[in-house]
Chains A and B, each alone.
Chain A
């Protein structure tokens, strides 16, 4: 360095000027491009937005869940959840509460119950909670099921847990 220079009142070697300004300006440009893209409607690096209350519950997005409930989505209906969210073998049709249990989000289950969700199959839900390993956070009484063991075995997840507990998902 040293040959090329930018001269104002002090001589600034071009290489040094680029060394100082270029990396941080690159970061600035990345930030600017990201914001422009989002404003234009693209969603770079974004998770695909959840399409219904069941997917939202699976993501643990409590605020998004309340927004969809406010928009009128039925919290007790079964909704299609995309492949890979609950299980890699394919999409499932489950309720928001079942999705939250499968993703081990007891706080979302409690929120759903406070917001009008019904534990329609108490024993099956208690089994599901125990099968995925959140039986302590979600005891059977949460679902109005009698206390007891509804699942004994190694932890399960996804379709296996639903099948084992007798919950339809297709």
Chain B
């Protein structure tokens, strides 16, 4: 059987339409599971209590204090949605998260430019990697109640998409605006600058020299404002527990071990962050798979995670090796841009983890990993059409089917885990009184009490709980540690 097709404009539009339609349905399926999760108690409720009173400006100003963080737009976004919600917090905050997932998937599809059949064919696998990768899980499991990590992923994808435009002053202004927005939301926003500069170096038409100068000036201004005017430092490593070796170290242990010589700790965290994206291990700095191997207690989901990530990384490495000589001659194809951006984002993102490693912090690198893998998979797919030994064809097909099947499995797993998470979040609300006492939270205003009542009622009885699943083998087969 042979399917010969020409490529008129209508055909390329058809592939694009199919790709966006697929992304939309997939985002809709994820949204279905997201709407099973009530607004969380921990993080979300406390954050909402903080921004309840005061004007938008007061909320913004309140976040300009000292300490190790400068995230004024994080709370401001919460305030905006809180006010817009008019009491319907669940619908608004979950709605924002569902829209974020949709936008994220659309931007991923746009990066892959599925105007050819071969590009369309990799879209399902690419989106499965985006959603199924453990670094992305934290962007949909949690919300604070707007998941800022997901916001940052969208900002990074927006910057990369701007680089793929034909440029102009409007694009320059948009790039600067995205950078400002992301920097004031989370420190990880600096990745937007990395993406824009890397795109320029790679010859992307959307980013002009003028644009690079502009965003670099914005970044310099931010750093000066942060350090010289606001005196905001960097977070210390005595603030949070973090994984090291085969277990999690408490801040006091980190201080005892690394206070005088922190470099090995920083290097370990940097390496862990890189490896977790490429190989699915370590997780949060802890070598769980390796520990499981040594004890003979490896769960099937751990094998699936490590094998799927490693195999995908091998395909990506093959692609990079194949294209490296051309890149050295500065011959960079439009599709190569995605891979180049991944190579720039990965170490930059890992640098942001040197104080403590958390998988979700690597979510931008994870998404670019998925896109770069898609480019490599497409090369493997189309490469099999050229004259090659039958053995190479068979090997390529075997790799493709394994990658596709394993990521398809992880796609199912993330949704199964979302359902399990829904039960956990509901249970948290049932013990809300204990949580209040444990965290010494005093709800003294009528407004605060009303917020608590609304969120509690939403979690307990106003929104019907989704059915709890009873699949005996699922706990072993799907990753629920994310």
Contacts and interface: CB of A to CB of B under 8 A. Distances in A.
Interface string B373-398: 00001001110111010100110111
Interface stretch (A23-31, A121-129, A138-146): A23-31
Nearest to A22: B404
B1 A12 contact: no
Given A7-B4, A47-B467, A62 B430 contact: yes
A12 B118 CA distance: 7
A24 B5 contact: no
Interface of B: 1-5, 7, 11, 22, 25-26, 29, 32, 116-118, 121-122, 124-125, 128, 377, 380-382, 384-386, 388, 390, 393-394, 396-398, 400-401, 403-405, 407-409, 411-412, 415, 423, 426-427, 429-431, 433, 459-461, 465-471
A35 B467 contact: no
Contact of A20 (B1, B22, B381, B467): B381
A32 B397 contact: no
Interface residues of A, number: 50
Contacts of B377: 20
Interface string A41-60: 00101110100000000010
Interface stretch (A66-74, A77-85, A87-95, A159-167): A66-74
B461 A71 contact: yes
B384 A6 contact: no
A28 B401 contact: no
Given A31-B411, A31-B412, A70 B460 contact: yes
A35 B1 CA distance: 35
Given A19-B404, A20-B125, 13 more contacts: A1-B394, A5-B3, A8-B5, A11-B386, A16-B380, A16-B396, A24-B124, A24-B125, A30-B412, A45-B471, A46-B468, A63-B459, A63-B465
A40 interface: no
A8 B117 contact: yes
A35 B2 CA distance: 35
A32 B124 CA distance: 14
A26 B385 contact: no
Given A31-B411, A62-B430, A19 B5 contact: no
Given A31-B411, A65-B430, A38 B466 contact: yes
Contact of A63 (B11, B429, B467, B470): B429
Contacts of A25: 124, 408
A2 B381 CA distance: 11
